[in-house]
Chain A
Amino acid sequence: MTTESQEQKVYVTPEVKAQIGQGGPPASWPEPLDRMSLRRYVLATDDENPLYRDEEYARRSKYGGLIAPPFFVAAYPIAFAQIIEEWQHEHPEELRPGGAPAVRIEGLRRGVNAGSEIEWYRPFCLGDTLTWKARISDIVQRTGRSGPMVVSTTETEFRNQRGELVAIMRGSGIRMN
């Protein structure tokens, strides 16, 4: 009886749904993508692609210069996480720039990362800066093996210094008991 009533419990109430769309202001850091950042990233990921490490090769390519590996857009904001965290520490009431608030669901305590997807629209090139902005894009209830769970998705948009869309990342998290 207890199990059944738990399965039927609705966690995604209208109040929870109302969190969709919430997100902090855009964040950016005026540090153009430079050689040293690229070098470290390709060393760390053992990426042999000359588009990311060979300036001569990249110049002769259709990109006309070095570009960042695809996943680098997700890494870029992390370099400035410390700076944003310090700002947040001094402004605890404000929404985190470049981030979305944690989805709050009464009664579901555990949280796990459920993965992410990225769509790329144009390369992130040497000398570019990025602005990123995140919002909660979806909250749905599902039933898993261990009972009810809520999947929330945060969508982050990355734009370059000309305002052009570079990538959209959708990361999902699961809340369960």
Chain B
Amino acid sequence: MTWHVQTPRITKQTYFDDISVGTELPNRVVGPVDSCDTVRFCSAWETYGALHTDYKWCTANGYRDVVLNGPLKNAILISYVDQWVGEGGYLKKLMCQHRGWDYHDAVFTGFGKVTRTYEDGGLLCADLEVGLRNERDEISCPGTATVVLPRRGGPPAPIEYPLSDWGKKVVSNLANARPGPARSRRGEGGEGGGASAPAPTGGNMIPDEAKAVIGTKGEPVSWPFPLDRSTVRRFGQATYEEKPIYADIEYARNSRWGELCAPPICVIRAPFDDEGLMGEAAAPPVPIPGARGGGNGGNESEWFRPVKLGDTITQHAYLADLVQRTGRAQTIIIVRAETVYTNQRSEVVAVGRQDTLRLIPTPRS
């Protein structure tokens, strides 16, 4: 009925001195993730699609149970790495792919390994291979992360960072993007149209009208209210957050952050409006005939500064690319949207890339 974390809380500080290539992160087991957990997450995120809530709908549509949200797994992975770096470290960047379906009562084991340690502009960094293994022993959520760690006896990792090369590129791509086609609101037609049109056969499945959307941006979307305590609490409860700067206001106000902060997943996945419009959904729509949508292919995010109570985040997304992968049974079109997250002072707090999958079944000959 609530989250069951089966291994002890990870509260100790990880130091740069203590790791080297090959060092393994202690596992963290989360689950079984049951219907209460998904309700809690869907509520925090304000997304209520049948795929993630409705058993009858899921089984009638060929799924064996309610499908867990990709962002929920993303959140569990982020939280796992974020706790490992401790209060003195900083989770800089995390990429995660979604390799398959997970269902209610899934049990995830977070795992990770250091693949590189280096100094970058005076910062002590480590690259990690991380992931979630499910109860069927499949790696359902592989990813990579970059973290900044303190040296034993040294100062903690900074909490604010200049834009990285990737961050600069995403910001500049957005600035140069043309306004894209308007997105229809829910109840006003399908996903950019074309879902019921016949698919082109063979070869290039991405029509010119879709390619024309690359490099265009959607409307900026802002949080309806400045970040308030109940939002932080809901995300914390939904993702079993244990780091005190996201959970304990007294502690946070007396810390070097100075205020209760939004957990990283809340920055990139906060609720935006009644329809839960966010991430790739905020980029212009892409018409791909014959394709059904929109599996979650994964996401990469980089954070540059904390988001605190009272902050209002605006996200602005553009269509970065369309990539075709043709297999025997189906063609997958990866719709890649990139997003800049800025606060009310126009400071970039994060950038992200979201891959959404459109599937075109190969016609039987």
Contacts and interface: CB of A to CB of B under 8 A. Distances in A.
Interface of A: 30-32, 34-37, 39-40, 43, 79, 82, 85
Interface in B190-246: 224-225, 228-231, 233-234, 237
B274 A34 contact: no
B230 A31 contact: yes
A56 to B, nearest CB: 14
Interface centre among A32, A34, A85, by most B CB within 10 Å? A34
Nearest to B231: A36
Interface string B1-28: 0100000000000000000000000000
Given A30-B249, A39-B224, 4 more contacts: A36-B231, A37-B230, A39-B225, A40-B46
A82 B237 contact: yes
Interface centre among A30, A36, A43, A79, by most B CB within 10 Å? A36
Contacts of B229: 31-32, 34
Nearest to B309: A34
Contacts of B2: 82, 85
A79 B230 contact: yes
B192 to A, nearest CB: 26
A160 B152 CA distance: 47
B225 A35 contact: yes
A36 B249 contact: no
A94 to B, nearest CB: 19
Interface of B: 2, 43, 46, 224-225, 228-231, 233-234, 237, 249, 274
B230 A43 contact: no
A29 to B, nearest CB: 9
22 contacts: A30-B249, A31-B230, A32-B229, A34-B225, A34-B228, A34-B230, A34-B231, A35-B224, A35-B225, A35-B228, A36-B225, A36-B230, A36-B231, A36-B234, A37-B228, A37-B230, A39-B224, A40-B46, A79-B233, A82-B2, A82-B237, A85-B2
Contacts of A82: 2, 237
B276 to A, nearest CB: 11
Interface centre among B2, B224, B230, by most A CB within 10 Å? B230
Nearest to B271: A36
A166 to B, nearest CB: 18
Contacts of A79: 230, 233
Contacts of A85: 2
A31 B233 contact: yes
A98 to B, nearest CB: 17
Contacts of A32: 229
A39 B46 CA distance: 11
A82 B229 CA distance: 16
Contacts of B249: 30
A161 to B, nearest CB: 14
A39 B225 CA distance: 10
Contact of B43 (A30, A34, A40): A40
Nearest to A29: B233
A30 B249 CA distance: 9
